[in-house]
Structures are given as structure tokens and as C-alpha cells.
């Protein structure tokens, strides 16, 4: 925008006041040399020739404007600013000087001053509708959300890229902490999207989900607290980095207790008194640890010779270990929607492993089980955070991401199937969108 207006100024200056000069020919020669030098990028020569012209006529507003342009080209912002101000002093209706001065203030990161001068330009050139978008940008940089949104709104009827304009408005509102308005503008962006393949569409969908999540979780509170018997199972076996680990885990357990599927697993944990242990570290320390032992009774003859053995008994010691780094992802100000989902999913994931061990006489893990307990966890987290299970599309993508992650570590050596669906279904838990992840071969595609 500014560049076009500067060129117009270059084409206009020759006719000004030559009749009033003592030596109009020499005056015009300096202007011609200045214009040619400026056009060819010889900015110092342009500056000198404009200064020489001013010796003949010191009140030519356009000369000061073009001097400002030349100084701007060599990044002498202070002299550029002085000359644009002189232009405005001599000719208050010079729209281009306001626009150029706005550009100088923008480079100096004086965004409020830049916006005010561009406002003056807009008043003098009402036909230039493109100015409103840039005003929105300047007011955004100045931290004035309301004036930023006002000018972006004014630009909407005149821009072909309504999608990205609404997207920027959503970003500004999110940055300002106004999640409801951010959600409104992201939805507006989606409503005007007319491109089948829009490279920014995934970004808007993600930001919308992030804002919806944060808006919902800002006021999310468990309706019913989990029973004390569950809290009593929570412990640690090491010195921890974070003092609020227990409080965060208690709140996550409260949320799971208020979910039908979460309560099913937690009731089994309580009934079998399975410890939930907060461990130092993260993913590597997170698991459902199972230790199986076999005990037998033997009848001895004379207290020396074994006569026979009976009463073979299998015993299982199960502990749910949760790394504190994962617990800390929950409701951390720096955590994303996915971080919070992952934290709550992980708790459900390990509970699912632990409960399945209680059902089976001998537990053998599999990729089927890993994917299924993860999807149970993600669906539960989605119900808690978003008020609904994963959609079919979300389920497909989440299952693929989960399988890909499993194939990148030691889980890739697990057998494919262990009939886990039948095992976990005995608890009465819901398997939402099970058909989207039951075929592990399809997840590899």
C-alpha cells in the first residue's frame, strides 16, 4: 500500500510552484536528479538533490515527503520521521505523508502512533478499503483488542480472504484470553471456508478445539468426590519434584469417578486395593506393574521327606505407577488440549491394564490391548473435557497416532492380539467406535 502511494508522489512534484522561483530551471534540475537517484537506488544523492531544491523553495511539502522516503530507504528512521512531520505541517491534507509516517512508527514498534497516523490516512482516502486490515494488525500489535477487531470487521466486506481474516481475529482473542470470542471467530472462519484443500484449515480446527477445551476446563469441577478409600490407595515411593502431584491426581481421579467408565475401573481398583503410585519421572516410569507368584503346600514325612504337594495357588501383586511428569501435564498453564487429554488418558490406560490382569488367570499383553486401553482413555478424557466421546474421524486419527507411537518403541515386539475385547467387556465398560481401531492392519496404512 505505502509503496504505491510513494510512487504517486514522485510523479506529481514537477509542476509545483516553478513560476514563483527565481531560477525554476535549476530547481527542476535538482528535482529531476533527485527523482532519478531515488528510482535507481542512489539514496544519498537523492537526499542531497532534494536538499538543494529546498534552498530554492523551502515550503514544498512533496519534497519533504520524498526526502522522508529517501531517508527511510537507508533506514534513517529519525530523519524520515522529521521530514514526514514537516510534510504534514505544510500540508495537513497530504494523505501519503500520514501513511508513510505510520510505516516509520511501525518500524520503530510504536504501534499506537502508527495506527493513529494510518487512521488519518484512512479519513483522507475513504476509497482505500485495504487500510482497515492493516489498522486491525497495528491495533493488535498495540494491544488494543477492541479497535483491532473493529477494523478487521470493517475489512471483511472488501477482502477476498475472509477465512484468514477471521482466523487472525480468533488468534487475537485467544491471545487476549477471550476464549468465547476466539471460538466465535474460528467458527466464522470455518463457515466461510470455500477451499477444499486449505492449508490453514487444520490449524483453525486445532485452535478451535484448544479454545473449546480451555473454556470448558476453566470451570470444570467434579460433581461428586471419589471415595476416601480410593485416595488412600495413592502413594509414592520416592522424592518428587512437584508438590502438587497428589492434588492433581486426586482431581483426575474425581473426574474419572464422575464418568461411568472411569467409575467401573476405579471400583475394581478399590475392591482389590490396588496401589496407585506416583513415580519420579515420566513415561518410562508409567505402567501397570504385575508380579505373579505361585505358592504350594507340601506334606512332609517326619518333617524331612516330602510326601505330596497340594493347594497350588496363584497370587498377583499389581501396582499402577504414574510418572509425575505426566501428572503435571494436567491443567498446566502451558499444557495444550492434547497434553491434558494425554494425562487423563494415561491414568485410564494403566487402570485398564490393571483391571484386565484381575480378570485373566494369566495376563499376556498385546498391541490390541495397548490400542484399546488407550482408546478407552481418550474417549473418557473427551467425555470429561469436551462433553462427548471422540467423533468417528477423531477416533480413526487418534487410533492411528497411538499405533504409530507403539511401533516406535519396545511395544512393537508384542503379539498383535490377545482377545482383549472379550476380557475388558466383562467389566461392562463402553468401547466407543471400536470398529475404527479393531483392525490393526488397517491402522498401519
Query: Do residues 238 and 284 both lie within one domain?
Result: yes
- All cell numbers assigned to 52: 538543494
Query: Do residues 86 and 119 both lie within one domain?
Result: yes
Between CA 88 and CA 142 the distance in angstroms is 23
User: Tell me, what's the pLDDT at 9?
Assistant: 52
Strand partners, 252: none
403 domain residue, yes or no: yes
Query: Do residues 120 and 135 both lie within one domain?
Result: no
Query: Do residues 207 and 274 both lie within one domain?
Result: no
User: Tell me, what's the pLDDT at 14?
Assistant: 43
Residue 314, phi then psi, degrees to nearest 5: -95, 135
**Quick one: which of 299, 296, 350 has its CA closest to 323?**
350
63, 93, 127 — which closes off a domain?
Answer: 127
User: Tell me, what's the pLDDT at 242?
Assistant: 95
Residue 76, phi then psi, degrees to nearest 5: -90, 80
307 domain residue, yes or no: no
Domain that holds residue 403: 228-288+315-443
pLDDT in tens, the chain (445 residues): 444 344 335 434 444 454 445 578 899 999 999 999 999 999 999 999 999 999 998 999 999 999 999 999 999 999 999 999 999 999 999 999 999 999 999 999 999 999 999 999 999 999 999 999 999 999 999 999 999 999 999 999 999 999 999 999 999 999 998 999 999 999 999 999 887 778 889 999 989 988 988 888 777 888 899 999 999 999 998 899 999 999 999 999 999 999 999 999 999 999 999 999 999 998 999 998 877 665 555 565 555 556 555 555 567 789 999 999 999 999 888 888 899 999 999 999 999 999 999 998 777 899 999 999 999 999 999 999 989 999 999 999 999 999 999 999 999 999 999 999 999 999 999 999 999 999 998 998 7
User: Tell me, what's the pLDDT at 445?
Assistant: 78
Query: Do residues 418 and 279 both lie within one domain?
Result: yes
Give the CATH number for residue 183: 1.25.40.10
Query: Do residues 358 and 371 both lie within one domain?
Result: yes
User: Tell me, what's the pLDDT at 103?
Assistant: 97
233 domain residue, yes or no: yes
Q: Which pTM value belongs to this model? A: 0.66
Between CA 421 and CA 419 the distance in angstroms is 6
184, 218, 252 — which closes off a domain?
Answer: 218
Query: Do residues 323 and 353 both lie within one domain?
Result: yes
341 domain residue, yes or no: yes
User: Tell me, what's the pLDDT at 15?
Assistant: 43
309 domain residue, yes or no: no
- All cell numbers assigned to 29: 534540475
3 state DSSP class of 444: coil
**Helix, strand and coil percent figures for the chain, each rounded to 5:** 65, 10, 30
Between CA 411 and CA 62 the distance in angstroms is 73
Query: Cα torsion at 385, 389, 178, 105 (round to 10°)?
Result: 110
Query: Do residues 101 and 193 both lie within one domain?
Result: no
**Quick one: which of 172, 164, 91, 159 has its CA closest to 131?**
159
249 domain residue, yes or no: yes
301 domain residue, yes or no: no
Query: Do residues 367 and 232 both lie within one domain?
Result: yes
Count CB atoms within 10 A of the CB of residue 232: 12
Query: Do residues 255 and 361 both lie within one domain?
Result: yes
Query: Do residues 238 and 365 both lie within one domain?
Result: yes
305-323/234-236 β-pairing: unpaired
User: Tell me, what's the pLDDT at 316?
Assistant: 75
Indicate the number of domains in the chain: 3
Residue 256 Cα distances to 31, 74, 223, 226, 327, angstroms: 78, 63, 11, 8, 14
Query: Do residues 135 and 96 both lie within one domain?
Result: no
127, 161, 180 — which closes off a domain?
Answer: 127
198 domain residue, yes or no: yes
Amino acid at each position: 500500500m505505502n509503496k504505491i502511494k510513494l510512487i504517486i508522489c514522485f510523479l506529481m512534484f514537477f509542476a509545483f510552484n516553478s513560476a514563483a522561483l527565481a531560477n525554476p530551471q535549476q530547481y527542476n534540475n535538482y528535482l529531476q536528479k533527485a527523482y532519478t537517484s531515488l528510482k535507481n537506488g542512489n539514496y544519498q544523492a537523492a537526499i542531497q538533490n532534494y536538499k538543494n531544491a529546498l534552498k530554492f523553495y523551502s515550503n514544498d511539502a512533496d519534497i519533504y515527503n520524498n526526502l522522508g522516503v529517501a531517508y527511510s530507504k537507508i533506514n534513517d528512521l529519525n530523519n524520515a520521521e522529521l521530514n514526514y512531520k514537516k510534510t504534514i505541517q505544510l500540508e495537513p491534507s497530504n494523505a501519503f505523508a500520514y501513511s508513510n509516517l505510520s510505516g516509520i512508527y511501525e518500524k520503530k514498534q510504536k504501534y499506537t502512533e502508527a495506527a493513529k497516523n494510518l487512521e488519518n490516512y484512512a479519513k483522507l482516502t475513504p476509497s482505500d478499503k485495504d487500510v482497515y486490515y492493516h489498522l486491525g494488525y497495528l491495533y493488535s500489535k498495540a494491544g488494543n483488542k477492541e479497535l483491532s477487531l473493529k477494523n478487521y470487521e470493517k475489512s471483511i466486506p472488501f477482502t477476498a480472504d475472509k477465512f484468514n481474516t477471521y482466523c487472525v481475529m480468533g488468534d487475537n482473542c485467544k491471545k487476549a484470553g477471550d476464549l468465547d470470542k476466539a471460538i466465535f471467530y474460528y467458527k466464522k472462519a470455518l463457515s466461510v471456508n470455500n477451499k477444499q484443500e486449505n492449508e490453514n484449515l487444520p490449524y483453525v480446527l486445532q485452535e478451535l478445539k484448544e479454545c473449546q477445551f480451555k473454556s470448558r476446563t476453566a470451570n470444570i469441577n467434579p460433581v461428586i468426590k471419589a471415595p476416601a478409600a480410593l485416595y488412600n490407595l495413592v502413594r509414592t515411593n520416592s522424592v518428587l519434584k512437584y508438590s502438587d502431584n497428589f492434588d492433581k491426581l486426586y482431581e483426575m481421579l474425581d473426574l474419572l469417578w464422575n464418568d461411568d467408565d472411569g467409575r467401573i475401573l476405579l471400583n475394581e481398583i478399590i475392591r482389590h486395593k490396588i496401589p496407585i503410585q506416583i513415580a519420579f519421572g515420566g513415561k518410562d516410569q508409567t505402567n501397570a506393574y504385575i508380579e505373579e507368584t505361585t505358592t504350594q503346600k507340601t506334606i512332609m514325612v517326619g518333617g524331612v521327606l516330602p510326601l505330596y504337594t497340594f493347594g497350588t495357588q496363584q497370587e498377583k501383586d499389581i501396582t499402577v505407577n504414574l510418572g509425575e511428569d505426566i501428572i503435571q501435564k494436567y491443567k498446566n498453564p502451558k499444557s495444550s488440549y492434547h497434553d491434558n487429554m494425554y494425562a487423563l488418558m494415561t491414568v485410564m490406560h494403566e487402570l485398564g491394564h490393571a483391571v484386565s490382569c484381575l480378570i485373566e488367570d494369566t495376563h499376556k499383553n498385546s498391541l490390541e490391548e495397548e490400542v484399546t486401553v488407550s482408546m478407552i482413555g481418550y474417549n473418557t478424557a473427551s467425555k470429561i473435557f469436551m462433553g462427548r466421546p471422540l467423533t468417528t474421524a477423531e477416533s480413526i486419527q487418534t487410533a492411528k497416532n497411538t499405533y504409530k507411537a507403539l511401533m516406535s518403541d519396545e511395544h512393537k515386539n508384542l503379539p498383535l492380539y490377545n482377545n482383549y475385547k472379550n476380557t475388558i467387556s466383562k467389566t461392562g465398560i463402553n468401547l466407543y467406535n471400536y470398529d475404527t481401531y479393531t483392525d490393526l492392519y488397517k491402522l498401519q496404512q
